[in-house]
Amino acid sequence: MSDSHAPTKPWSGRFNEPTDAFVEAFTASVGFDRRLYQYDIQGSIAHATMLARQGILSDSERDAIVHGLKQIRKRIEQGDFTWSVSLEDVHMNVESALTEAIGDAGKKLHTGRSRNDQVATDIRLWLRDEIEQIRDAILRLQTALLDKAELEADTILPGFTHLQTAQPLSFGHHMMAWFEMLERDRERLADCNRRLNVMPLGAAALAGTTYPIDRHMTAELLGFSRPAENSLDAVSDRDFAIEFSAAASILMMHLSRFSEELIIWSSAQFGFIELSDSFCTGSSIMPQKKNPDVPELIRGKSGRIFGHLIALLTLMKSQPLAYNKDNQEDKEPLFDSVDNVKGSLKVFADMVPAINCRKEAMRQATMQGFATATDLADYLVRKGIPFRDAHEVVGRAVAFGVAEGRDLSQMKLQELQRFSSEIEADVFDILTLEGSLAARDHIGGTAPNQVRRAIARARERLAS
């Protein structure tokens, strides 16, 4: 809720006229940055603790400030706090309430800092926690993929290139490809958090402060790896927000690709899988429809996250040092990206275990595209035929199969021998779909036993 009165602004001494009402509302950020309140209070408690240690505040002033901030946090959590647009942002709302509650000691809290370094600190504290929550959500989805891969390690799925049948795959192997994509996302976010975890507080407006502050102490209290080295850079840097948005965009691109495959596979034309009713909707006019709305929406949300990355890059590209009001626009794209990434990961982790594989449909589709042609070429190479010649032989055999409407495995030995006298009865061991899968028995291959080994290694990686 917001109040209608206009409290005195912290910078009002310089001005002779009140702020225009529309401008006041237009420039205020409290409508969206209030979600940073717990990090703003956390930073202020650490700052007050440091100021007292340095003799800038008395112990009684520190205690009053810390107690007052904790009470304000409790009021906000209980919904008993009035947010004022007139006070512009979360920082001044909290500080004004503190001063109202404890008197002049509250006015001393801002000693040695500026809203410039305060907001930069708040957003880093918030994003640091959110990144860890996102990494946990990725891990939950990865675990669901491992479980599904283990269950379907022997299930045969047609592998595609150019969306044309290429070679047989284990469905579990396909799930493990998704797992690896997500593992890179998890690592990227960890790396992003490492660079993010540098403290701006104490940089003040842009040049530092004349007070004898201990920035290393404050950084330690807030769990930062170190204080920022340069005060000018500290207040104007938003690289961490851009880097997170880039990592979030790659993550959403991956989820969009997963979604596209689920949408295709669940269509009547493919029929490889069935999605649970819980993640689909119907049509208002066509009673037979079962629409894969959840993966479709996630596919759509990827563009939204990409847009936020471009917005942040554009926001920063022409800004001179140091802080500018433009930077108020960094929060809404970040907030929306975090919310939608977390939501997409949650629903995906819930959806994957409920995927029902239609194994016979997958098998029949794999039989339709001469998926074992490469296996026949490899067979001939092992017989001493150069690969390019073997390629030509198999190409002619496939052309015959297309004309006859039969797969290679459905031809008679005598028919195959028309194309090469090196072909013998043992060829049928490798022309079966199971034989094709089993033959790729090396690390990273689609052989079911290799899929199970990959799953075991992946579980060890997650556990460590």
- Provide the pLDDT for residue 10: 63
Closest C-alpha to 197, from 245, 126, 268:
126
103 phi/psi in degrees, rounded to 5: 85, -150
Q: Is pLDDT above 70 for 315? A: yes
Q: Which amino acid is at 251?
A: L
Does residue 227 surpass a pLDDT of 80? yes
Give the per-residue pLDDT at 303: 98
Domain parsing of the chain, residue ranges? 19-111, 116-203+229-363, 368-463
Examine the residue annotation and report whether 436 is marked as an active-site residue of this protein: no
283 counts as catalytic: yes
Mean confidence (pLDDT) of the chain: 94
Q: What is the SS3 assignment for 380-405? A: HHHCCCCHHHHHHHHHHHHHHHHHHC
Between CA 446 and CA 175 the distance in angstroms is 11
**For the chain, what percent of residues have pLDDT higher than 70?**
96
What integer pLDDT is reported at residue 282 of this predicted model?
A: 83
Residue 20 confidence (pLDDT) above 90: no
Of 166, 60, 44, give the one whose Cα is nearest residue 109.
44
Three-state SS string over 252-289 comes to HHHHHHHHHHHHHHCCCCCCCEECCHHHCECCCCCCCC
Average pLDDT of 102-114?
A: 97
Spatial separation of the C-alpha atoms in residues 39 and 45, rounded to whole Å: 10
pLDDT given for residue 5 in this prediction:
43
Q: Which numeric CATH code is attached to 19-111?
A: 1.10.275.10
Whole-number Å distance between alpha carbons of 205 and 219? 18
**Whether pLDDT at 304 is above 70:** yes
Active-site option among 4, 5, 162, 318: 162
Asked if pLDDT for residue 22 goes beyond 80, the answer is no
Nearest-angstrom CA–CA distance, 169 and 157 = 5
Residue 156, pLDDT > 80, answer yes
Q: How far apart are CA 276 and CA 290, in angstroms?
A: 10
- Active site residue: 60, 225, 267, 283, which one? 283
For residues 153 and 452, is the Cβ–Cβ distance under 8 A? yes
Q: What is the pLDDT of residues 249-303, one digit of tens each?
A: 999 999 999 999 999 999 999 999 999 999 988 878 887 888 999 999 999 999 9
CATH of 116-203+229-363, one of 1.20.120.1200, 1.10.150.670, 1.20.200.10, 3.90.550.10: 1.20.200.10
CATH among 3.40.50.11900, 1.10.600.10, 3.90.550.10, 1.10.40.30 for 368-463: 1.10.40.30
- pLDDT for 63: 98
pLDDT band at 1 (very low <50, low <70, confident <90, very high): very low
Cis ω for the linkage preceding 52 (within 30 of 0):
no
**pLDDT above 60: residue 425:** yes
Residue 91's Cα: distance from chain center in Å? Answer: 28
Position 424 pLDDT exceeds 90: yes
Specify whether the CB–CB gap between 433 and 440 falls below 8 A: no
